Chains A and B, each alone.
Chain A
């Protein structure tokens, strides 16, 4: 308090401001831990990654500014170009496959019978299992001799032992199959939530109009679950771009780089070749594409919702 005489009104205003200030501080105290952690472990590394991508990073010697060199190097490197191709094939194939299979599973397992709930619980297992565990499991299932789990199944149909992971032409498709297996049950849950929102009287009306099952799916079910499909597609696209663990655990990028994806390539560059600058540039490119994709898909989703 100052020595000047204050009128009651002025004192009231002062008090109010003080109370206001204290109140305004409260939410920030609650937000502080989260914002601090996000800042230090998310946004700072992101900024640092962008910064480093313009440098030739040399530990102990000091970094040297090289401008866009890292970017041109990464984008013209043929192994990175191959990796883009693999990332796209894997991402698109895996997403569409998992969405289709998830839709089929949702249609099959829709319902409230107890037995169906048990089946759903079991079918959802791949989605809760850690990716690394799934990778080990599939490596063994893909065992290349005729008594490997999948090969012995194929053997039953007279198809000879397939070198799922050792054949450069097949390895990417084998990885994709595992990705579909992991994500189909996850998509199933989201699509099922969409199916639950479909107005049942529409089915009844469709039946009275005598439409075929296909037409019913096409004109009643699909439009109703379009929002759910949009979400599934967004999530899958982002997941597809940043795919790392699945590939790293299952094939490590091999054989002969045939399953190398963008992130495994960046990882190799950064951690085993110590080319931090190049790896950062690769990550920044991926980050930009991810953000662009998210924004685009959201834009179309919003526009679709308005329509």
Chain B
């Protein structure tokens, strides 16, 4: 795919048309920049677009306001959900804290942090070998990593839970430890594919020059290849974090008892607790939401680029 396809944010063609004056070439989008021919000039189409955007925001973003306001509302319940908190309070968070939400949250943080570190390390190493070396069995290894993408946790959940209880050969019981969640997330085909593609584009001359200087394999990876891969690592990091944070089934089957749950799984524990109201569940939802939200808002550009790049390379 060509470069503009990977960047959905820049949706206009860089080629200016002859009819446009030099002044508005950059600032105002022209009639032919979008499929529907939207333009910036106030008018019927412009009003319609604003209206439709408002509807889209109402459908896709407003529910998040409802979570937030519910979490800060005293005695919030499903029947009193609104977009603005009334009778605002921090009580829901206090109660959620008493129910151990911060323990769940720290479980989540350890798993997300550790899982992401392991995933990035493992996938970088594999991608380096696949991109910068030629060896027998390369195609097979590539296929194996592709297959890991086609083997969703859901499908192997039952045998995986048995394996987690008794890891083959070493006979370790990983259930109830964070390793039960972290280790299965280590080899992520998507990151391997994407990093491999990216590392392949590093010019051979750079590598050859480094080799002449006597640079070994590890230093080559750490000091030459990795710094050049920062954008790809960013994408792998953001997508990996969101993916790990979203895990539900894996933490569920890797847990020995509910105290091992991650915050996303623990929401169902809160919900089924008859002594807490919806407000507390929503407080928990806000707590579970914040980290992925922060990562998204900070790095949304690489996330969006990554989804598009991953899809077009598919």
A107-B34, A195-B8 known; 8 new pairs, CB 8 Å cut-off, are A26-B129, A30-B128, A31-B126, A33-B121, A38-B187, A42-B148, A113-B40, A139-B78
Q: Does A74 contact B (CB under 8 A)?
A: no
Q: Evaluate contact between A30 and B129: CB separation under 8 angstroms.
A: yes
Q: Does B156 contact A (CB under 8 A)?
A: yes
* Alpha-carbon gap, A178 to B29, bound state (A): 34
Q: Evaluate contact between B35 and A185: CB separation under 8 angstroms.
A: no
Q: How far is the CB of B246 from chain A (nearest CB, A)?
A: 5
Q: Does A41 contact B (CB under 8 A)?
A: yes
Q: A137-B66, A213-B36 are in contact. Are A109 and B56 (CB under 8 A)?
A: yes
Q: Which of A4-12, A75-83, A283-291 contacts B (4 or more CB under 8 A)?
A: A283-291
Chain B, interface residues (CB within 8 Å), range: 35 or more
Q: How far is the CB of B147 from chain A (nearest CB, A)?
A: 8
Q: Evaluate contact between B158 and A31: CB separation under 8 angstroms.
A: no
Q: Evaluate contact between A221 and B35: CB separation under 8 angstroms.
A: yes
Q: Which residues of the other chain, B, contact A26 by a CB distance below 8 angstroms?
A: 129, 133, 217
Q: Which of B87-95, B228-236, B285-293 contacts A (4 or more CB under 8 A)?
A: B285-293
Q: Does B145 contact A (CB under 8 A)?
A: yes
Q: Evaluate contact between A34 and B186: CB separation under 8 angstroms.
A: yes
Q: Evaluate contact between A263 and B307: CB separation under 8 angstroms.
A: no
Q: Evaluate contact between A148 and B81: CB separation under 8 angstroms.
A: yes
Q: Evaluate contact between A245 and B13: CB separation under 8 angstroms.
A: no
Q: Does A216 contact B (CB under 8 A)?
A: yes
Q: Evaluate contact between B133 and A27: CB separation under 8 angstroms.
A: yes
**Number of A residues whose C-beta is below 8 Å from B?**
106
Q: Evaluate contact between A111 and B125: CB separation under 8 angstroms.
A: no
Q: Does B21 contact A (CB under 8 A)?
A: no
| In the complex, chain A residues 149-188 whose Cβ is within 8 Å of any chain B Cβ | 149, 181, 184-186
**Which of A42, A137, A204, A242 interacts with B32 by CB under 8 Å?**
A204
* Alpha-carbon gap, A207 to B9, bound state (A): 24
Q: Does A193 contact B (CB under 8 A)?
A: yes
Q: Evaluate contact between B307 and A190: CB separation under 8 angstroms.
A: yes
Q: Which residues of the other chain, A, contact B7 by a CB distance below 8 angstroms?
A: 193, 196
* Alpha-carbon gap, A201 to B12, bound state (A): 11
Q: Which residues of the other chain, A, contact B126 by a CB distance below 8 angstroms?
A: 30-31, 33-35
Q: Which residues of the other chain, B, contact A231 by a CB distance below 8 angstroms?
A: 311-312, 314
Q: Evaluate contact between B265 and A132: CB separation under 8 angstroms.
A: yes
Q: Does A254 contact B (CB under 8 A)?
A: no
**Which of A147, A213, A248 interacts with B79 by CB under 8 Å?**
A147
Residue in B38, B49, B136, B156 with the greatest tally of chain A CB atoms within 10 Å: B156
Q: Evaluate contact between A195 and B292: CB separation under 8 angstroms.
A: no
Give 5 A-B contacts (CB < 8 Å), ordered by A residue: A112-B10, A136-B285, A207-B31, A245-B249, A249-B267
Q: Does B245 contact A (CB under 8 A)?
A: yes
The majority secondary structure among interface residues of chain B is helix
Q: A37-B186, A287-B155 are in contact. Are A143 and B81 (CB under 8 A)?
A: yes
Q: A46-B156, A242-B154, A267-B157 are in contact. Are A228 and B35 (CB under 8 A)?
A: no
**Which of A131, A199, A283 interacts with B156 by CB under 8 Å?**
A283
Q: Does A71 contact B (CB under 8 A)?
A: no
Q: Evaluate contact between A48 and B292: CB separation under 8 angstroms.
A: no
* Alpha-carbon gap, A26 to B129, bound state (A): 8
| In the complex, chain B residues 36-79 whose Cβ is within 8 Å of any chain A Cβ | 36-38, 40, 49, 52-53, 56-57, 59-61, 63-64, 66-67, 70, 77-79
Q: Evaluate contact between B183 and A41: CB separation under 8 angstroms.
A: yes
Q: Which residues of the other chain, B, contact A131 by a CB distance below 8 angstroms?
A: 246, 248, 264
Which A-chain residue is minimally distant from B36 (CB atoms)? A107
Q: Which residues of the other chain, B, contact A24 by a CB distance below 8 angstroms?
A: 135-136
Q: Evaluate contact between A119 and B56: CB separation under 8 angstroms.
A: yes
Q: Does B281 contact A (CB under 8 A)?
A: yes
Q: Does A140 contact B (CB under 8 A)?
A: yes
Q: Which residues of the other chain, A, contact B278 by a CB distance below 8 angstroms?
A: 140
Q: Which residues of the other chain, A, contact B187 by a CB distance below 8 angstroms?
A: 33-35, 37-38, 41-42
Q: Evaluate contact between B78 and A38: CB separation under 8 angstroms.
A: no
* Alpha-carbon gap, A245 to B135, bound state (A): 40
Which B-chain residue is minimally distant from A224 (CB atoms)? B35
* Alpha-carbon gap, A145 to B159, bound state (A): 42
Which B-chain residue is minimally distant from A263 (CB atoms)? B154
